[in-house]
Amino acid sequence: MTSRLTIEYRGTEFAGWARQDGQRTVQAELERALGVVLRCRAVPLTVAGRTDAGVHAWGQVASYEGDPARVESLNALLPDDIAVLECVTAEAGFDARRDATSRAYCFRVLARRARSAYEHGRALHWPNGVVLPRLEACARALEGTHDFTAFTPTETQHVRFSRDVLAARWTETGGGMLDFWIEADSFMRQMNRVLVGTMLEVGRGARSVGDFERLLRGAPRSAAGPTAPAHGLYLVGAGYNGNRVLTQPLTNRPLFWTDVRFGSGA
């Protein structure tokens, strides 16, 4: 039997998703709890998107071979910065990573001069000024298939740099909060963070929208902007069987992952 987990976590105190010797990771915590609940020595997890250190998740998806575990039992064993939202039986052979046809992320930016005690560690504080229409123009340019070589570290294991962006949009949710939403077939390491760092340079007038568009033609990493910090990035969820994560119009309010939907024309 194959089971499917939906998980949320606050990535601040984790060295990322993937198990690492001597490091606190989301995978290690979950596999430990599953082993106790299912009374197994090891319950290896496969995950839809391996998040880096400091990155959060609202709807991470993972799979394992075995019976579903009781959510309440798992959460009783997990630390406060991880919560299992669902653990259900999946189709035989379901693989959270291999079967995912898209992933969606949100990057949150607090674009105002005053910092926020509430959003500290949860959004990038950007006091430098920004023109939203410039950011929106960058988001529109992202949709479609492009070469994202400029938006991943030069030292990389990636051999394919083309990605198909299904949806990209900036939204305002009040109080100076700007959210960047993006869904693509897959993402390269740090791709979203470099995209945001570069778009914010466009937003404050340090480079043009045309400059940004030219980066999507396979420019080197040195031509793009800085890598935005991890604490503003959230994995929203993963799509399967061609179903999109971002599928209905967004409202101008703070959102939780279960609320997040775009229109099909996004």
Q: Which residues are catalytic?
A: 52
**Amino acid letter for position 2:** T
DSSP letters spanning 233-246: EEEEEEEETT--SS
The DSSP 8-state label assigned to residue 171 in this structure reads E
CA distance 43 to 34: 6
DSSP letters spanning 85-110: EEEEE--TT--TTTTEEEEEEEEEEE
**Element containing residue 173 per DSSP (H, E):** strand 162-174
Task: Collect all residues with Cβ–Cβ distance below 8 Å to 132 and sequence separation of at least 6.
Answer: 170, 172, 178, 203
Please report which residue ranges of the chain form alpha helices under DSSP H.
Answer: 26-38, 71-77, 132-142, 191-203, 209-215
CA distance 96 to 86: 14
